[in-house]
Structure 1
């Protein structure tokens, strides 16, 4: 049994005291206190990233052991669990990626974030709104999705609801227990509302690769802002203007943050692979040769700092890189520091720099490459 001491963010508020734990939290001792009243470290729930394409020079679509390298680089930045995210690609490429993800779900390595399953970002998207996705978009069938689900747990699936047959599929997938997100879409406000009525529960990288807000044509962004309880957003301050982030924060109660990170995360400037695309990292951004943003190099510790920089208090920012994502997946034992929950913590100094990461009770070596 181990313990750590500091300002602990619990579901009931800040506790100045200690967490006692093994792989799960055994107990929390101390008293409620404003962390501004002392100089001790912050202890927050481990970060949860539901949209990860790569890192450390590796891409999820490579299959093999790439996912382990990716899980390790993100763990060093405070991510304690994640969804490995696929690209729109030929069926054989997706099969390779999902087979590797399926194995990784049951085999967390030393200093690695827990892989909770897959986020299938396509191929069931609109070919007219690919963003950085390769042009292998196609319509979905329930039979194909079930075949893919046999390779790896599909925790989230992105769908363009305006494609013929997809609205009915949204309801079928929701009935199967999958979280269906609206994304890479040219759909209208009405398409978005209909998809939510049929069981869709979120929006993929809000504002990016979807029809925008206009006062006479609210678009998919308007549907999200008017009706969503959950949506993911990339807060790297490149994908979305700070003003738009603040708008979404006011409109969507459980807006949560993702990195949409690529193989370039944690790597020097240069060329990297994103699925079948070659992308270029330069000056903190990742782009296709034509300048289109192609994922990010964001990590969730930086996302937390960005949110605080936008004016969120630390508890709210923490929820948006952890608790809301856990709630979106229906995980009551992650994304919070409470007795019985997994011992997933990050320890931050007063400047919000990482000092320690614990994943299911194991302390991560932040210097491990």
Structure 2
């Protein structure tokens, strides 16, 4: 079955005007002016998208797809992600990661969950490793994981400036980055080091030290949670203006907001006003992670759970706050795909993956296609995860 989306106002993420888009298999087969395709006699699923925006599916570079957390004991381990948590939010690609817990949460389980979601229709990738050093891997080596396991595209989220991290030295982090870099080169993957940045006073200093004292370029690192505090956001601006890409967390930790954490939209505005290019900013949901708050003694004082849907919420809030649609899309889709080496994602073009979102007039997902399969129609799930209740 071919799908023809007619009369859509297309963004890729730059505005392309009104187009007809033909999907077949898992790819975009054609982009044409309205009515230019001759498809008489062919079996088609035709959708008239007049007055609606057709955009690339959102790309989420950090989701704890197999669950995370546990900082408050076994009962605080967060649940794994379900398919429709992503698709109903217009998220068509996720990158799974481990966090603090790499004991009761394993890379094997993370990889299995990625395959499960892939089988259900989502595009999935994972990082090898976790917060800790020495790095736990699937094959015993970071480079081998990148080369031999298709879904492994980098390492993460290794922790710095955080009491839950392994307090890495310059030499240790440089070695990790070198292995990721070589693995990425040999496998044709991004090979980035996705870095969890905590609320420690050192912030991003270690990344700059590695770049200064070794041959590893600053752009090898991809730090996240940059809106954790005003001080870290300022460091993120410096990092981005030096050529790096920074990731801002969309899920908001409500107990932390009155103190240090900067809401995602405010953080984006500050970065842009400080001279950071749109192309150097991404957003991630930190979906299904625990969002803990610690007291001055490092004891857990509060806990919330990240939501994949926060990425779509922040996308809408960016547009409502005056960010133009193409820039909001770049920061929630295209930039992450480019940074991680997932180029068939984050764009709408002939030959690209058919990961598309048709937005309603409120910029909410009306229809969602993952690799050409319609997962959402009229804002309702057409495909559910294997164990998701039908009533959700």
Cα distance between partner residues in 1 of 2:232 and 2:131: 22
Partner of 1:123: 131
RMSD after superposition:
3.5
- Aligned counterparts of 1:120 and 1:141: Cα–Cα separation in 2: 7
| Pairing of 1:241-280 with structure 2 (within 5 A) | 241=263, 242-249=265-272, 250-252=275-277, 253-262=279-288, 274=290
User: Do 1:119 and 1:155's aligned partners in 2 also have CA atoms closer than 8 Å?
Assistant: yes
Q: In 2 relative to 1, CA 3–29 (structure 1 residues): closer, same or farther, beyond 3 Å?
A: same
CA shift for structure 1 position 120: 4.8
Tell me, what secondary structure is at the counterpart of 1:174? helix
Mapped to 2, the partners of 1:338 and 1:295 lie a distance apart of 32
* Structure-to-structure mapping, 1:96-107, within 5 angstroms: 96-101=108-113, 103-104=115-116, 107=118
Cα distance, 1:223–1:174 mapped onto 2, change above 3 Å? farther
Out of 275, 284, 299, which is 2:310 matched to?
299
Aligned to 1:114: 123
Aligned length: 314
CA distance in 1, matches of 2:204, 2:111: 36
Q: Secondary structure at the match of 2:337?
A: helix
Q: CA deviation at 1:222?
A: 5.4
Structure 1 position 354 matched with structure 2 position 365: yes
Question: 1:214-229 residue pairs with structure 2 within 5 A?
Answer: 220-221=235-236, 223-229=238-244
1:170-197 residue CA offsets vs partner (Å, 9 max, x unmatched): 1222121121133335445542223456
Scaled by the length of structure 2, the TM-score of the pair is 0.69
Report deviation, 1:159: 3.0
Superimposed CA distance per residue, residues 187-238 of structure 1 (whole angstroms, 9 cap, x where no aligned partner): 455422234561423112213389736xxxx7x5354244243221123565
1:77-88 matches, within 5 Å, as: 77-88=89-100
**Quick one: distance in 1 between partners of 2:168 and 2:230?**
14
TM-score (norm 1): 0.72
Q: Bigger CA drift: 359-368 or 308-317? A: 359-368
Structure 2 portions without partners, runs of 5+: 35-48, 71-78, 161-166, 185-190, 254-260, 294-298, 385-391
SS in 2 for 1:104: helix
Q: Deviations over 1:58-87 (max 9, x none)?
A: 72699xxx86x5233211211111112212
Q: Could you tell me which residue of structure 2 aligns to residue 335 of structure 1? A: 346
Correspondence list, 1:149-228, <5 A: 153-156=151-154, 157-160=156-159, 163-164=168-169, 165-177=172-184, 178-185=191-198, 186=200, 187=202, 190-196=205-211, 198-199=216-217, 200-208=220-228, 212=232, 220-221=235-236, 223-228=238-243
Q: C-alpha deviations, 1:238-293, integer Å up to 9, x for none?
A: 55234432122342533111111127xxxxxxxxxx5xx9x79xxxxxxx961366
Output the CA distance in 1 between the equivalents of 2:284 and 2:207.
Answer: 21
Structure 1: give runs of 5+ residues left out of the alignment: 32-37, 125-137, 264-273, 281-287
Please tell me whether the aligned partners of residues 159 and 166 of structure 1 are also in contact (alpha carbons under 8 angstroms). Answer: no
Q: Distance between the aligned counterparts of 1:248 and 1:346, measured in 2? A: 27
| Bigger Rg over Cα | 2
* TM-superposed deviation, 1:308: 1.1
Deviations 1:282-306 (A, max 9, x none): xxxxxx9613665346433212102
Residues 1:19 and 2:21 are matched in the alignment: yes
The alpha carbon displacement at 1:328 in A equals 1.0
* 1: CA distance, partners of 2:31 / 2:127: 33
Q: CA deviation at 1:43?
A: 0.3
1:59 to 25, 48, 67: 67
Q: 2:304, 2:243 → 1: CA distance?
A: 25
Counterpart of 2:335 (choices 324, 329, 338) is 324
**Structure 2 SS opposite 1:321:** helix
